[in-house]
Each structure stands twice: as C-alpha cells, then as structure tokens.
Amino acid sequence: MPSAKKTAHRDLFPGALEMMILQSLRRQPMHGYALVQHIKQQSNDLLQVEEGSLYPALQRMLKESLVKAEWEISATNRRVRTYRITPAGIKHLQREVSRFEQMLDGIALVLSPAKP
Amino acid sequence: MNWFEQLFARCQMYGALSEEIHTHLSEKVEELVASGVPRKEAEYQAKREFGNVTLIEERSREVWMWPRLESILADIKFALRQLRKSPGFTVAAVLTLTLGIGINTAVFSVVHHILLEPLPFPQPSQLQAVWARSDAQGSPRIAASGPDFLDYQDQSRSFSHIAAVLPHFTFTWTGEGEPRLVKCTAITEDFFSVLGIRPYMGRLYTAREYATLENDTILVSYGFWKNQLGGDPHVLGRVIHLQNDPTTIVGVLPPLPDLFPETDVWPEHNTRPSWEFSKWRANKFLTVIGRLKDGVTPAMAQGELTGILRRASGEPPDVQVQLTPLKDDLVGSVRTQLRIIMFSVALVLIVACVNVAALLLARAARRSGEMALRLCLGAAHKRVRQQLVVEGFVLTLLACSPGIFVAWLALHFLPYARGLDFPRLEGVCLNGTALLVTGAVAAVTTLFFGWAPSLMFSALNLASSMRTGRTDTGKSHQRSFSGLVIAEIACSVVLCICAGLLLHSYWRLQHVDLGFEPNRMLKAYLRTNYYTPEGHGFWRDVLQGIATLPGVRAAALADCKPGQGAEIATLVFSDRPNDPNHAPPAQGCWMSSDFFRVSGTPLMQGRFFAPGDDADSAPVVIVNEQAARKYWPGENPIGKKISINYTGPGRTSKSATRMREIVGVVRGMKYGPLELPIEPAVYMPYLQDEISHDMATMSLFVRSVGDPTALESSIRVRIHAVAPDQPIDDMQTMQDIVSRSMAPRRYSLSLLGAFAALALLLSAIGIYGIVSYTTLQRSREFGIRIAVGATRGSVMSHIFRRGLVLTASGAILGVGMALLLTRILAQLLFDVSPLDPLSFASAVVLLALISIAACLLPAWRASHLDPIRALRSE
C-alpha cells in the first residue's frame, strides 16, 4: 500500500513537480534521466524526487499537450525520448509560477514577525 | 490528441514508456558504475532510487486510460476466466441464482398485476363495490335486492353513477349448429358510465331499451365476437336466437379482462319496469357498483347508504353497508394465497442467495493464497474488494438474463395451468416494476457476494500466510460460513413445514366425507326453454331415455349441484311459531325420485323418494342429518310437517307453499367448497313442485356401470332425440368437479412443495459444500489422526457430528421462525392446526436425513484419506 509518508515527501505541494519540469524544459529540451539530474543539481540536492514519479507527471503533461516528445540520440549515444516544452506549456508555466509566487508572498506575510 | 486517436496510439505509447524507463535505469547504472560502485550494487541502488517500476509504469499508463472503468473491465475479464475454469461451481451458482431470480420475477409480476395494478378505467380509485353486512345474521357479504338498488339510486347523493350487475347466468343460443349456452352478465343503465367504457363497435343500449322488458337487442363481449362469431366485421345488425327469441347484435364491447372476463353477452337488466323477482325486498341477488363523486370519501357514502338501507322494512337492525374498492372486491379471494406464494418465493430467493454466497465464500477461501500474494505485491484492499464485487456482479448478471427468460416462460405458460382461477390473470406479463425489483434484488445480492469474502481477507495475516505457504483464513470465516448454512437450513425448514401443513390439509380434505360417491357419476347442466306445462313431459322422456341406456345404472334430475352449489330455501314449521323476518334457512333442491340412488348418499332414517311421490300424492320432503340435528334436536323428524319457500334457479314465479311431511333423513352432502361445513338441506320431489310447469333448469345425474365419460355421446343423442335444440352444458364427471374444487389448494400445495423441494436441494448443496470444505481444510489433521491410530469410523463420526450440529442449529432456528410464521397460513389450512406437530416433525426429520446424505461423501472421503499423502501434500 503506498504510504502517505512517501507521498508527502515527493510532492511538496500539488503541481510543484510539474512546474519544475516545465521550467527545466524551458531552458533546454531533455530526456527523463537528464531531467532528474538537472532538478537535483539545480536544487543543490535539497529536493529528492523519487525518480520514477517523474514519468506519470510527464505522461500527464504529454496528454495535456504541455510538452511534446521525440526520439533522439543522446550525447552518450543512446536512443532517448527528449521532451520539449510547447507554447501551451510556457503559458501554463507562467500562470503556475505567478500563482506560486502569490502563494509564497502570502505565506511570507503570515510567517513574518508582526509589525507594531 | 483526441481520445479516439489515443485509443489507437496507446500500444505504441506504452512501448515507448517501457523503453524510456528501461533506458533511464541503465543510464543510471552506467553512471554509478563509472563512479566506482560495483555493477551489482549499482543495479540495486538504481532500482531503489527509481521506485516500484511496475507501479510507476502502471500509473503512467493510467494517465491515458479511464482507470476505474478499465480496471473494472479487466476484473470482468478475469472473473469470466475464473468462472470458465471452474464450470461445476459456475453452473451450480448460476443455476441457483437463475431459478431464484426467475421465479421471483414471475411471481412478483403476477402479484403486481393482480394485487397492485389499478383497474384500467378512468379514476379507478373512485370505483367501489357496495355490499351489506349483518353480524347478527352472520352474513358478512349481502348482495342487494331490486328494491335496495332502486333506493340507493333514488336517494343516494354520493355517487356520480351507480349500477347493478347480475352475473353468472346463462341463455340458450339456438339456430346455429349445436345449441349452446352463452354466459350472461346483466347490467343496469348506468353500468357503462360507472366504468367509463365506450363500445369497441356499434353502440350501447339506449334509454328506451333499458326500459323495455322484452328487449330484442344485445351487446356482445369482445371474446364472444372474436371466438364465437369469428370476429365478423359486419356483425352489427346480425340476428342470433337467444332463449328462442331473435335478438339483434347492436354493439361489441372492448376486452374487459378484469371484470367478469368469462361473459359472452351483456343483456340489460331492467329496473323500471322490472321482472317480478326483482321486486322482492328479500331476494338479494344484485352486485352493486358505483363511482363516487369527487370529494366524497367511501366512509361518507357508506354512512349514507347504511341509512337508506335501514329505512327499508324487514332489514336486520344491525345492517351495515360496506364499500370495497372495486379492485379489492375482484381480487379479495386470492389475496392471502398470493401473499403466501410471494412470501415462500422470497424465502427461496434468500436460500438461493445464501447458497451462492456460501459457494463463493468457499471458493474465496481456496483463493486466499492468491489474495495474500496480491496484497503483498501492493494491491490495495479496495482494489481486491472491487475485484470480488465484480466477480459477484458478473455471476448475478450471468444469472439475470436466463432468470428473466425463466420468468417469461413461467408467465407464458401460466394461463395454461389447469384449475388456476385467479381473477385478472389475463394480461399478466413481465412488467417494468418486476424487472426493477429483480434488478434491485440482484444488486443487493451482488454487494453481499462481494463484501462477504472481502471482509474475510481484510483480516488476513499476510506475513504468516506467505511464510507458511498455508492459506488459512482462520476461524472467523468458518463461523460466517456456518452462519450462512444455518440460515439456509432455517429457511428450508420453514418452507418444508409450510408445505407439510398444506399437504396435511390436502390429505385431510381428500378424505373428507362428501356425502356422495363421485366415482362413476356424470353430471350435465340442462337449461330448457320449457316454461310451460309441456316441460314436464320433456323431463320424463329425458329420464326414461337415459335410464334405459346400456351402461347406465341409474339416472336422476336435480336443480342443486353436489360439489358445486345449491340455492337457499326458508322453512316454515307447523309445530312452532314462525317469525317471517327470521325464517330459518336451508339449502333446497327439487329432484327426481332416483337421485339418492345415483349420488350414493346413505339413508339414515325413514325412506327415499319413490316414483309414486308425484303431483297426485301427499307432498313429502327429505331432510339431511344437519337439518334434523339443527331443527329437531333430540327429536325424531320423521312425520313432522314443514312447508318450504323455495323457488330454485331459473324460475320466475312462485305461489303459496304447502305443508310437507318429512319421510326420510339422509347423510349431508357437500355443496360448496369442501372445506366448509355441511349446511342443513331439504329435498323435494320435483313432481310435487307447487307450480310444476315451471322447472326451467335441472342438472342430469347419471350413475354408470363403467367409465362415465364413455356414456357422454349416447346421453347427448338421447336428449336430442327428445328435444333437438336442447343445449347440454357443463357435462363432466363428479370426480372432475370435486377435483377442480380442490385445484387452487392443489396449486398452492404444488407451488409451495416445489419451493420447499428446491430449498431442500439447495440446503443439501450448502451442507455438502461446507462439510467437504472444512474436511478439505483439515485433511492434514485427519491425516495425522489416522496416522496415529484413529479409526475410520471415528473420523467419519467426527464429520457427521459437524454436519448434524449445523443441521440441528438450523432446524431449531427454522422451527422457531415457523412457530411465528405459520399463523398466516391458517386461512389455507383445513382441519390442521398451524402448529401441527406432524408437519413440524416430518420437516425436521426430512432435513436430518438430507443432511446425513449430504455429509456421507465428505465423511467417506476423509475417513479413507491416505495419511502419507495428506501429510505430504500440505
């Protein structure tokens, strides 16, 4: 039975993983393994994403046409499936990021010491 | 990508996904190896960090699916495969459910149609039947006389329309082939307005026709037009001869399956002017129906009519008018019977469901290893439960359509069931409500089937069951299993006891003293048109012609019909004061001198009639022992003088009665239903009728030497030799009449018997199932027992004990239930108490025998276990 503990560990909040994937892909198209590595490095290993959980998220985004995938040959000479962000994906990312920032601001306000 | 493309691109997509994940893992392994981790270790670490590959792949695929739906589809496929793999189980379960569902749907359709469906007339709730009751006279259902009806019609303000009906009489139809009798229901002017009926063809009667005594027009029923007149489209204006009078057909009524469905023609019944016999206040023969005005409640109308009736002279002071909804009035007699059938059929369904649940549970127990494995591999409990519910659902679904077919078949053949004279039977069909109810029952069963085993698995100890490799689901589920079987046995016991009670009643009834000997006795109904003195000669010639037929031992005429009915006479005594308002009643009968010799009724005292008891000799009467006991208690009735007010059927006038001398006492004869006690009766020679030319209706009774049916054609020939246009109706053996009067009883008995047998069979399967299942579970234990020296006998008795404990618990529960429930059967019982010990005991003994039989095979199997193999196979 998938425990609740694991889920909390993986998803910081709903949509976080998606946002990070889209942001990474916006910089450059990547395949799955590279994406995991990229997110790990960018977060200074603070975020430990269960690698596998990437794939259901990628499938979801494929289905919603936020990304598209193509088979290519990687730098290590492997046949890999490279994901690219679509215009719809960019729009979605911007919307999500601004919503996230708003939420962050809100949280920050609540958490900051009360002004006299 | 739209969903349609998705559907086709899916396979490709799943392939890509697998490959992608695979590449991911190998890439990771390469990197780890490059950083110095040993390959083996690297592979483990890669997998650990990636997570459950199968689960992730599945979850990724689910993005593209309708996961709920598809998992259900997969479960259905799996369930079907499972069922195919164990055909024995499948056939048993599906057959059980099919019968349960089918029989229930059929019975519910019948009950729904007869008891629940409103009459097919506008605003049927306004239609009421009007009866009077008088508890002082012990008459719960008194019809109306002509004057009563006219009073209601003139004085009541409660009804928008009120009409009287005179059903169940006949006309002779001559001039077209063999003379026939047509069944008539006479109606008064407002009848069609009460019901809101329009003619199917032609017109209804005009006001002038209702006011003409010798009316020469007639309305015919739809059935008569279709079957007797060949559905002739030009039937209007056709002339047929009824009662020797040319009568013109002016209209055809629509089919009226609910109301007097056997009626051939609907003559009008005149109220103003009216025939002589409808002017007598005491001649209560009319059925009154009315349509209440809007806003008038039955209670209001009841009060008003009671007031009207009490104002009339000669009515008992406690007379009370009662309104019954017309539908209830039509179906009243079969209500109890139908309810009992419904109840027993529901018990059968419960037994069937419990049985299937037990089968499923046994199977689930065998599959607990599979379930444990699934749960260990990460299947959610919810998911496993879904699978089990789907399996139950598939089973129910498989049983539903053949069940509906069984119901359809049963309903299709229902009208051909002999002797089943339920009202409103015509037009019974599988209806939506019945199907809905069946569906609901099926749904409940499904949930039950699915939940029961899944509850069992939620308590499953995964670790231990995986470690030991044994699939023991523990005591708790054996207990629920036993509970199911006990419930099943209890239901069967209840059904068996009910069937036993009915069987016992039936047996008692078959051995009841009829007062006549029905074997080798033939009866025919003769309604003549001889309203004149020449009738006399006709009857004499008919009797003579038939008595001299070879094969005839004796022949007689009578206007009462043993086994069927007699009309009521009232008595006037010469030796005591008589109160005309409370004249003592007795069943009356005019008869020819040989009647008792034909019927085989024993003489208790005095003498039978002699041919010399005719119009010229002193008037005489024979009474039955019931009359003798009631009216001359402790006295010898022979020689007493009474006069008898008796008209008999088919006669239209009467004159002053004479004093008659009682010359004999005979054993009482059963006239009506066999279960009713014999009433006082008086018998008189028809030649001594007060107006002897007026005998229009008689039945002919013939005692034969051999098979009475062999005489039928020669009797017809002899009668037609006397009068060529004499209709001969209703010719049948007395044995048939008696047997037909028991038909409804036989019908409920055979139904309940069949249900009980079915329940017994199912319980036997249930007992067999649980005993062989527990035996299987404990085969290791039995193996050890045998290995350490237990005898085969002791193992067998151990198993029998288990079966008997189950049976005994079920039987005790069942007897307890029956003690509470059999009371509702009381109305159907004859001379048998609802707590009849014989029925209770035999049901329990029968069940004990069956359970022993069911235990035999598993016990034998266990006692012949090869201990080595039993121990090794575990």
Same domain for B667 and B757? no
Distance from the Cα of residue B168 to its chain's centroid? 24
Residue that finishes a domain, picked among B315, B349, B382 = B315
Same domain for B248 and B357? no
In a domain, A9, yes or no: no
Same domain for B597 and B684? yes
Q: Are B185 and B195 in contact (CB under 8 A)?
A: no
- Residues of A whose CB is below 8 A from B30: 76
Number of domains in chain A: 1
pLDDT band of residue B79 (cuts 50, 70, 90) is confident
Is some CB atom of chain A closer than 8 A to the CB atom of B17? yes
Distance from the Cα of residue B577 to its chain's centroid? 49
In a domain, B516, yes or no: no
- The whole-model pTM stands at 0.68
Looking at residue A11, its pLDDT comes to 47
In a domain, B524, yes or no: no
CA distance B699 to B557: 6
In a domain, B87, yes or no: no
Among A33, A56, A79, beta carbon nearest to B28: A33
pLDDT band of residue B686 (cuts 50, 70, 90) is confident
Q: Residue B72 pLDDT > 60, yes or no?
A: yes
Looking at residue B606, its pLDDT comes to 93
Same domain for B259 and B291? yes
Is some CB atom of chain A closer than 8 A to the CB atom of B62? yes
- Residues of B whose CB is below 8 A from A2: 55, 378
The boundaries of the domain holding residue A104 are 14-111
Q: Are B536 and B659 in contact (CB under 8 A)?
A: no
In a domain, A8, yes or no: no
User: Could you read off the pLDDT of B525-580 as tens digits, one per residue?
Assistant: 887 766 566 667 888 899 999 999 999 999 999 988 888 888 878 888 988 888 77
Which of B7, B23, B385 would you mutate first to test chain A, the one with the most A CBs within 10 A? B23
Distance from the Cα of residue B181 to its chain's centroid? 30
Please indicate whether, in this complex, the C-beta atoms of B50 and A79 are within 8 angstroms of each other: no
Cis check: omega of the bond before B637, within 30 degrees of 0: no
In a domain, B565, yes or no: yes
The 3-state DSSP class for residue B374 equals helix
Is some CB atom of chain A closer than 8 A to the CB atom of B33? no
Is some CB atom of chain A closer than 8 A to the CB atom of B53? yes
In a domain, A5, yes or no: no
Same domain for B292 and B341? no
Q: Residue B812 pLDDT > 90, yes or no?
A: yes
Number of domains in chain B: 4
CA distance B692 to B685: 10
The boundaries of the domain holding residue B554 are 529-725
The 3-state DSSP class for residue B396 equals helix
Same domain for B490 and B589? no
Q: Residue B723 pLDDT > 80, yes or no?
A: yes
Separation in Å, CA of A115 to nearest CA in chain B? 45
Looking at residue A10, its pLDDT comes to 45
In a domain, A79, yes or no: yes
CATH of residue A64:
1.10.10.10
Among B27, B56, B63, beta carbon nearest to A52: B56
CA distance B126 to B327: 11
In a domain, A3, yes or no: no
Same domain for B183 and B300? yes
Please indicate whether, in this complex, the C-beta atoms of B60 and A31 are within 8 angstroms of each other: no
Residue that finishes a domain, picked among B18, B50, B65 = B65
Same domain for B504 and B545? no
CA distance B400 to A108: 62
- Residues of A whose CB is below 8 A from B27: 33, 76, 78
Q: Residue A46 pLDDT > 80, yes or no?
A: no
Q: Residue B312 pLDDT > 50, yes or no?
A: yes
**Token digits for B733?**
């053996």
In a domain, B487, yes or no: yes
Among A31, A56, A81, beta carbon nearest to B60: A56
Separation in Å, CA of B58 to nearest CA in chain A? 9
**Token digits for B431?**
């209806």
The 3-state DSSP class for residue B540 equals helix
Q: Which stretches of chain A sit within 8 Å of chain B by CB?
A: 1-2, 31-33, 36, 50-53, 55-56, 58-60, 62-63, 65, 69, 71, 76, 78-81
C-alpha angle with apex B680: B675 to B686, nearest 5 degrees?
115
CA distance B128 to B161: 11
Same domain for B269 and B347? no
In a domain, A6, yes or no: no
- Residues of B whose CB is below 8 A from A53: 51, 56
